[in-house]
Structure formats: structure tokens, C-alpha cells
Amino acid sequence: MIGTCSSPPEQTTSLERTAKTCVPRKAPETTDDENRSTMNAPTPIPSVERSGVKRHRIPQRGLGRTRSVRRRGQRGGDLLGIKRAATATAEVAICLPVLMTLTLATIDLCSVFFLKETVSIAAYEGARRGVNRGGTNAAAIARVREVLTERGVQFGGDAVSFEDATYDDAETLEHVTLVVTVPAAGNLAAPAGLYGDLQLTARVTMRKEFENQE
């Protein structure tokens, strides 16, 4: 409560003139909404005038420390990234030659297997032609050459040979062995050339069904 003092009128007595009466005055009443708005009002931010432009100054509490922490974290991340890159480079330098060697060796080996299968098929087809009724060495050799040519295999003049008996002079139910030999050089689709000096040989033994009649 706030009080105000007023002087008595002139008609009063001398005692009353000297005395002052204090009349209490009530403070203006405020509502709850006004009190809340006053409490929640934002704190005014000091402004700085520079070159005729009024700008607000933003508080910088703790910002310097945050920046330093971020810089340290960034430096640590950069060092970790450099270490990882160096490790990856070392791994590639060690593993890449080994992987390339294994890859080329695998390609060469698969080419050898394919060529070996082709030689075996040619020997089988030639033997089947020679053991039939009226089969001869010339017929068996022609069949072997035909199969090798169809598969694109390079061979020499002595690619086909016989062991012991031949189809020309074999008796009935006599075993005849046909041998096919093909060089690996020029027949392998392999860049490494690990088996260039290899000779692939296939042998097929079958019985002559009927002796050739003169």
C-alpha cells in the first residue's frame, strides 16, 4: 500500500494545520496474465550501431570452448582417416600381386583342362571309327583331325599314333590303342603362358570288332 499526505484546509484549527493526515492509496491491481507476460518477457539484447546500421549483439557464452572442442575432434578425425588410408594402401600393395597371380594361374589351368577334354574326345571318336567293320588307320586319323579342327585346336602332322597293333592289321577282338598328342602352345587362352611347353596326350584302347578282310 502506498500512502499520500495532504494538508488540511485553512478553516481547521492550528493544531490541525500542523498535523498531516496520511491517506492510504491502493496500488494498481494486475491480473495473472499480466504477471505471466511480465515474467516471460525476453531480456532485451544490447544493440551495436556500426556504420549507420543497427545490429544486435548475440551473446557468445561458451562458444569459444565449443569451437576448440570441435577443432580438436576434427583434427582427430583427420588423423584417423589418414591412418585408415595408409593401412588400405599397404593392404592393396601386398594383396594385389597375389590376387593377380592366382587369377592368371586359374585361367591358365582352366584352359589346360578344356584342351585336355578336347584331346580326349578326339581320341575317343577316332578309336570308335577305327574299330568298326572295315575301319582303318586312315579313317581313324581323319576322324581325329576333324574333331580337333572343329574345336579350333592346332596340331602337328604326328598328332595321331598307335601302340602295338593298328586297325589295319588287328585281328578280331584284338585291343588297339590310339594316342593323340597336342601341344599346349598356341591352344591356351591364357595371358600368363605358364603351360606353354606342356604336351597333352590322350589314349583310348578299344577292341577291333572284326578283322579287316582283304
Give the pTM.
0.56
Q: What is the pLDDT of residues 89-107, one digit of tens each?
A: 888 888 999 998 888 888 8
| Grid cell 575301319 in the structure block, residue | 135
Residue with cell 551473446: 59
Whether 33 is covered by a domain: the verdict is no
Nearest to 2 by CA among 31, 22, 30: 22
Residue 207 above 80 pLDDT? yes
- Please state the domain count of the chain: 1
Please check the confidence at residue 41 and state whether its pLDDT lies above 50: yes
Arithmetic mean of pLDDT over the chain = 75
pLDDT digits (tens, 9 = 90+) for 166-199: 999 889 899 999 999 999 888 887 666 677 788 9
Of 163, 144, 160, give the one whose Cα is nearest residue 201. Answer: 160
Helix (H) or strand (E) holding 117: helix 63-131
Longest dimension (CA), the chain: 181
| Enclosing domain of residue 87 | 69-207
Specify if 55 maps to a domain.
Answer: no
Does some domain include residue 82? yes
Is there a domain that residue 149 lies in? Answer: yes
Which residues contact residue 55 at a Cβ distance below 8 angstroms, ignoring those fewer than 6 apart? Answer: 47, 48, 49
Residue 54 lies in a domain: no
CA distance 159 to 115: 14
Q: What pLDDT, in 10s, does the model give residues 134-172? A: 889 999 999 999 999 999 999 988 899 999 889 998 898
